[in-house]
Amino acid sequence: GVDLGKLLAQTGLVTLDPGFVNTAACKSDITYIDGDAGILRYRGYPIEELAAKSNFIEVSYLLIYGELPTQAQYDDFADRIQRHTLLHEDLKQFFDGFPRDAHPMPVLSSAVSALSTFYQDSLDPFDQNQVELSTVRLLAKLPTIAAYAYKKSVGQPFLYPDNSLGLVENFLRMTFGFPAEPYEVDPALTRALDLLFILHADHEQNCSTSTVRMVGSSEANLFASISAGINALFGPLHGGANSAVLEMLEGIHANGGDVDSFVERVKNKEPGVKLMGFGHRVYKNYDPRAAIIKKTADEVLGKLGANDPLLEIALKLEEKALADDYFVERKLYPNVDFYTGLIYKAMGFPTKYFTVLFALGRLPGWIAHWREMLEDPARKISRPRQVYTGAAERSYRSIGER
């Protein structure tokens, strides 16, 4: 029963830990990672088993409610999500306000932020009915928002969701279909995207999830907190890495496919040159998600008949890096996003859209963490301390005297 935090506060001591490398910000029951052994489990279930046997809706339920659903619970959850996919007609006008070539991530975060204005019955984070409704609304509407952001960027008409379809099928149809034409949903494509969503669904206290928790700790509502999480995911060191990997592979390809000289540039630490999709704060071993995705990339690219020379470059890069002392010493392995871009590209998504797909997958994890935090009686507003390094006290001089 000793509260170490309180005890330390009384001593006046402050720990300095930039990037929270060693500091836990919370206790959590949701996701377990052993970075040295390369283990990832959601609510105790190994990621490999969920990837092989479950689906994204079921995994979302598991993350948010803590247990796998019974058939009746699953049907009810899936049905509620299916019935909330429509966007308010006025929200659609938002998409006209942005430049056509806008990056879809800020479009996504703006639209999610705007949900608080359309659903004012979402502002009380302690009203259980509101929280349930906001949870379902977000899971249902984010794919529609993402598809509309895509349609706007390519100048094509929006498609209303078709509530006879599952979440991933509906998203693919709204993204790639046309209003007057039937859209054949490819089951292999649907399964592959569903699998990628499962693999992205949670990863404990990563940058975006910590952001969701931090914003939520002020008792801001779910939409405001998730909108902040989307903005945190936008950065190239986090969710933006999947786009950055593809740009890196394209750059190497344009340079004649010279993997060796690229790796030399990385090792020489040329400014701005990193092996994107490699390295992780927690995994000091092969990222278990990357292992599953590498297999999927082979299958999906094979099924879609995509013979992508970038896959060959990626495989060579990985082989070279894993045998090189620089990467071995630093324990740098492929992370979840080393191979995802190749799959997204084969599916027809433009590069700058990849991080949106990460956001769709990560959404249930963000929601689960926000809810866990607000249900915790020991919850406190996030308010880190600092070590002040600025000027000592000095006197103001009027502008003419400076």
The residue ranges that bind ligand ACO (CB under 6 A) are: 237-238, 241, 266, 274-281, 330, 332, 335-337
The angle formed by the CA atoms of residues 287, 41 and 218, to the nearest 5 degrees, is: 100
14 to each of 5, 9, 21, 184, 205, how far by Cα in Å?
10, 8, 15, 59, 21
Closer Cβ to ligand ACO, 144 or 206, answer by number: 206
Residue with tokens 């490999």: 48
**How many alpha carbons fall within 13 Å on the CB side of residue 372?**
25
Q: How far is the CB of 378 from ligand ACO (least distance, A)?
A: 28
Residue 135: partners with Cβ closer than 8 Å, 6 or more residues away: 64, 222, 367, 371
**Residue 153 parent element (H or E):** helix 128-154
Closer Cβ to ligand ACO, 130 or 340, answer by number: 340
The angle formed by the CA atoms of residues 323, 333 and 359, to the nearest 5 degrees, is: 155
Closer Cβ to ligand ACO, 81 or 321, answer by number: 321
Token pair recorded at residue 189: 């494509």
Q: How far is the CB of 37 from ligand ACO (least distance, A)?
A: 18
Closer Cβ to ligand ACO, 105 or 136, answer by number: 105
Which residues, in sequence order, are bridge partners of residue 45?
A: 42
Torsion (CA) 342, 238, 205, 379 in degrees, nearest 10: -130
Q: How far is the CB of 264 from ligand ACO (least distance, A)?
A: 12
Residues forming the active site: 280, 337
Which residues, in sequence order, are bridge partners of residue 46?
A: 41
Q: How far is the CB of 239 from ligand ACO (least distance, A)?
A: 6
C-alpha span between 10 and 97 (Å, rounded): 52
C-alpha span between 24 and 75 (Å, rounded): 36
Residue 191, judged by CB atoms within 10 A of its CB (0-12, 13-18, 19+), counts as middle
Q: How far is the CB of 275 from ligand ACO (least distance, A)?
A: 4
Closer Cβ to ligand ACO, 136 or 359, answer by number: 359
| CA neighbor of 81 nearest in space, from 58, 102, 65 | 58
Q: How far is the CB of 287 from ligand ACO (least distance, A)?
A: 8
Closer Cβ to ligand ACO, 161 or 341, answer by number: 341
Q: What 3 state SS string does 320-379 have?
A: HHHCCHHHHHCCCCECCHHHHHHHHHHHCCCHHHHHHHHHHHHHHHHHHHHHHHHHCCCC
Residue number, nearest CB to ligand ACO: 279
Q: How far is the CB of 191 from ligand ACO (least distance, A)?
A: 22
Closer Cβ to ligand ACO, 172 or 321, answer by number: 321
| CA neighbor of 209 nearest in space, from 194, 231, 240, 241 | 231
Helix (H, G, I), strand (E, B) or coil at 45: strand
